[in-house]
Amino acid sequence: MMIAGAAGWIYWQSLYRGMPELPSNEALWASGREQAIEFVDANGQTIAIRGPRYGRAIKLEDLPPHVPQAFIAAEDKRFYEHDGADTRAIIRAVWANVTSGETVSGASTITQQLIKNLVLTPEQTLKRKAQEIRLARRLEERLSKEQILELYLNRVYFGAGFYGLGAASRFYFGKQPEDLSIAEASLLATLPQAPSRLALTNNMTDAKTRQRYVLKEMVDAGFITAPQAAAAEIEEVSLAEAPERDPQFGYALDVATEKIDEILPTVPGDLIVQLTIDADLQSAMDEAFTARMEEEGTKVNASQAAGIVLDTKGRILAMYGGVDYTENQFNRATQALRQPGSSFKPFVYAAAIQMGLSPYEVRRDEEITIDDWTPENYSRVFHGPMTLSEALKDSVNTIAAQLAQEVGEEKIIALARRFGMASADKMRPLPSIALGSQEVTLQDLARGYGVFMTGGKRIDPYIVEKISNSRGDVLYERPQYDFEQVYERDNAETMVAMMERVITDGTGTRARLDGWQVAGKTGTSQDFRDAWFAGFSAARVGAVWVGNDDDSPMKEVTGGGLPASLWHDMMVLAHDGLKPQPLAGAGTLITLSPQVQERIAFYRDLSMAFEGALTN
């Protein structure tokens, strides 16, 4: 008898061999989570969820009593009476399963379910069951009943990829858990037992059958009255429609995901990421770009487009990375390096203005050769003397090339780098830089133009505003800081005045924006392989690119055509609801007559000849 008892004791102890330690309270909240990120827009509305859908943490004290009571009635009627494992229920279950070999089923309390799901494996063996019971009792020694129930409601699986009451409530019924009715709560309480089979989205019939049992148990426990149960049973419960989001959001979400990896040294299992994206603007912009590209793009062999809009703080409000995210995830707004053509000229002129030149300075539009390179104008004709303002307005290549030589290519690159253009790090000091021959990204171009918009302050584009976990702990928040002044305010306003004329009566008239003063520049690369428009108001800066991924030419698409129209579409949407603001520097230039420009050119040439004679 003693030998048999000893053998039984040894066998029982062997069941605990290799039993894992009970994780810390914090680890229990994160244990077993797959990577999941919920993205919300600038207004806190969910844009998308990548990975399983974990709910935001709910507190027991915020719930109406019938919500937790429904789960107690369904899963563990003696929850407040046992010590983590219900001995009487265990004995009944073991007796019922005595002929089933090592499989042990039933009798799992809410605490045991937590241990099974968060600490142990799901296998049904006597050893695993024994460990589950011991660990459940240890957990009850550490946490109160309320803490255990709260943890359970936040971690339990509800089917259809939803974990936690917060997720199930929002996605099944479109409401917060604290607003659940008895009927809705009792339906959700049916799911932990068989979340896949009873998922409300595909088996409401069986879920309603199980609901009747839950309501009966709630009545028997004194949680609700019989009339309340009867009313809940017949209540028409409507499932919320899953929010439909344009797959084009994927471009912005990819950028945000990369930034998350940069911001957080280790990425926890559950994140709620607030973006700077305006979801309504993003959707409207997607529709506008799609419509115009389908209408006009196919006619001119333009298969791709990209666009980006930022505010004065650098927040990325909307991003169009390509015509079809589902087909190709390459982001042409942030990843594509393309030749900006004349849209790069403002940086050449900005360097010249900084050097002391005036918009009224006159240069001759004439044939020039620089190191065996002879730039040509788009019109293939020369117009003689003209002011720098006129030359920028009409995008005259020869004068931009002359200015680059006067300023120096190195200084132009240094200015672009100071304006925040990362692409400038790879630029080389070649004469053709004046005409935008060296590649940039669309985001870089918009960022550079932002310096003119802000009176000479560099803006730093960003898309991630705040990162939290599902429990509400803030892991990162975008710091507030003063932007660096990288260009003199007076010079920035001079550039605004010159760039405004591009839109009022230059190459970018299609970009005019009713009620707003705007400034910008067109750009077209060699053989019409790239076409650009970038510009800004006092409130928004944005840029657009049109072209083909294979770098094939378009049919004479210039920056003042399709890109300017797309920019206009984008900016109309981006300014919706905003009160027009004056753009510092706009409207301050005086237009000189051709006769005056001729006289200025004559005296300039005479002065240069005189200086040349003195040096000789």
Q: Where are the alpha helices (DSSP H) in 31-77?
A: 66-75
**Cα distance between residue 577 and residue 571, in whole Å:** 12
Across the range 572-600, mean pLDDT stands at 82
**Cα distance between residue 278 and residue 574, in whole Å:** 9
Supply the mean pLDDT for the chain.
87
Using 50, 70 and 90 to split pLDDT, how confident is the model at 102? very low
The residue with greater pLDDT, 395 or 123, is 395
State whether residue 427 is helix, strand or coil. coil
Beta-strand pair 474-477/464-468: antiparallel
Across the range 222-239, mean pLDDT stands at 93
Domains in the chain, CATH or no CATH each: 18-51+247-337+444-484+509-585 (3.40.710.10), 53-234 (1.10.3810.10)
What's residue 143's pLDDT?
87
One-character DSSP codes across 280-327: HHHHHHHHHHHHHIIIIIGGGT--EEEEEEEETT-BEEEEE--S-TTT
What's residue 11's pLDDT?
45
**Cα distance between residue 498 and residue 36, in whole Å:** 49
The residue with greater pLDDT, 42 or 24, is 42
**Cα distance between residue 397 and residue 509, in whole Å:** 19
Tokens standing for 277?
Answer: 């994206």
State whether residue 370 is helix, strand or coil. strand
Largest CA-CA distance found in the chain, in angstroms, rounded: 125
Across the range 356-364, mean pLDDT stands at 95
Segment 260-278, tens digit of pLDDT: 989 988 877 778 999 999 9
Segment 531-546, tens digit of pLDDT: 999 999 999 999 999 9
Residue 611 in this model has a pLDDT that exceeds 70: no
**Cα distance between residue 431 and residue 562, in whole Å:** 28
What's residue 130's pLDDT?
77
What's residue 4's pLDDT?
46
What's residue 104's pLDDT?
46
Query: Do 309 and 443 touch, CB atoms closer than 8 A?
Result: no
Across the range 88-114, mean pLDDT stands at 63
Which residues have C-beta within 8 Å of that of residue 513, sequence separation ≥ 6?
Answer: 537, 568, 571, 572, 575
Query: Do 458 and 420 touch, CB atoms closer than 8 A?
Result: yes
**Cα distance between residue 72 and residue 87, in whole Å:** 17
- Determine what percent of the chain is predicted with pLDDT higher than 70: 86
State whether residue 160 is helix, strand or coil. coil
What's residue 15's pLDDT?
57
State whether residue 225 is helix, strand or coil. coil
**Cα distance between residue 562 and residue 295, in whole Å:** 11
What's residue 140's pLDDT?
86
Using 50, 70 and 90 to split pLDDT, how confident is the model at 240? confident
The residue with greater pLDDT, 202 or 104, is 202
What's residue 612's pLDDT?
47
**Cα distance between residue 104 and residue 114, in whole Å:** 17
Which residues have C-beta within 8 Å of that of residue 461, sequence separation ≥ 6?
Answer: 310, 314, 315, 316, 443, 446, 447
**Locate tokens 């073991």: which residue?**
94
Tokens standing for 493?
Answer: 């306003």
409-to-309, 398, 424, 433, 555 alpha-carbon distances in Å: 29, 15, 12, 7, 31
What is the DSSP-derived secondary structure letter of residue 527? G
What's residue 157's pLDDT?
87
**Cα distance between residue 458 and residue 350, in whole Å:** 14
Amino acid at 233: E
Tokens standing for 16?
Answer: 């605990």
Residue 298 in this model has a pLDDT that exceeds 70: yes
Across the range 301-324, mean pLDDT stands at 97
Segment 396-453, tens digit of pLDDT: 999 999 999 999 999 999 999 999 999 999 999 999 999 999 999 999 999 999 999 9
State whether residue 242 is helix, strand or coil. coil
One-character DSSP codes across 478-522: PPP-PPPB-S-HHHHHHHHHHHHHHHHHSTTGGG--TTS--EEEE
Neighbours of 179 (CB within 10 A): 13
Segment 37-62, tens digit of pLDDT: 889 999 988 888 887 777 778 899 99
Q: Is 51 left (phi over 0), alpha (psi -120 to 50) or beta?
A: left
The residue with greater pLDDT, 57 or 30, is 57
What's residue 98's pLDDT?
52
**Cα distance between residue 144 and residue 151, in whole Å:** 11
Query: Do 304 and 331 touch, CB atoms closer than 8 A?
Result: no
Neighbours of 12 (CB within 10 A): 11
Residue 10 in this model has a pLDDT that exceeds 90: no
Query: Do 284 and 543 touch, CB atoms closer than 8 A?
Result: no
Tokens standing for 395?
Answer: 């995008």
State whether residue 532 is helix, strand or coil. strand
User: In the beta sheet, which residues pair with residue 409?
Assistant: none
What's residue 243's pLDDT?
61
Using 50, 70 and 90 to split pLDDT, how confident is the model at 600? low
Residue 315 sits at φ, ψ, to 5 deg, of -65, 130
**Cα distance between residue 411 and residue 427, in whole Å:** 12
Q: Where are the alpha helices (DSSP H) in 52-164?
A: 66-75, 87-96, 110-118, 126-142, 145-155
| Of 348, 355, 361, nearest in space to 431 by CA | 348
Residue 16 in this model has a pLDDT that exceeds 60: no
